Amino acid sequence: MRIRHIRLATALAATGLAIMSCSNSTPGTPTTTDHTINQTTTTAGGTTSHSPSASTGLSMAPRVTNPKNLRGQEACQLLTPQQQKELTFTQPGRQGISEFGESECEWKNDKLGIFLTLDTKRRGLEETYLRKERFPDFTPSTVAGHPAVRSDRNDNLKSCRVSLGVADDQVLYIDFDRNSAGRSNPEYSDPCGFAEKVGKMVLDNLPPAR
């Protein structure tokens, strides 16, 4: 679990720097930290560039058009027993509390590891976009129509993190690691794709936002 804690600590540090930068500016005035990152997304119709507006304070992350409610959920209950069995887990997940005080859960066997972390008290997927420059492999994606970001991919270890926008102010971090006994499973050779598969499972279980 230590690797994920380091990742989350990095996220918190980056967010803290952004907040400090904002606190030194005039209220309502966007700072360089908030508005120097551009996003380019490739779609079926071509390439669209999204640049946050310094005058309007638009967010960088795509809006969630079909929001679900992640708030108040327990991470170890985000996957049903049947889904856990499908993922080859025979033991319950190990519950924990993240650095920012929310539920997290880890499932692990000799084939793979899945780690889910809730983030519902900050700015949703915007947290990932605000530190985009920290991820050389930052790649926008979608999971069942929800905006997401692939990052921290390691093709040697077959690991990946997917940040999944559940609602505009709620994000689920999904970390996947392939373990030694899972090398023969071709599905694990695409770690980001497999993490997104888990994200789709979770979305299927969540109630709509009210």
Extents of the domains making up the chain = 75-205
| pTM for this model (two decimals) | 0.74
- Predicted local confidence at residue 40, as pLDDT: 35
CATH class of 75-205: alpha beta
Tell me: pLDDT of 15 over 50. no
* pLDDT of the residue at 100: 82
CA distance 153 to 190: 10
φ, ψ of residue 36 in degrees (nearest 5): -110, 0
Q: How far apart are CA 79 and CA 26, in angstroms?
A: 45
pLDDT-derived band of residue 57, with 50, 70 and 90 as boundaries?
Answer: low
Task: Say if residues 64 and 168 touch (Cβ distance below 8 Å).
Answer: yes
Check residue 210 and give its pLDDT. Answer: 84
* Cα distance between the two ends of the chain: 33
pLDDT of residue 148: 98
Mean pLDDT for all residues in the chain: 81
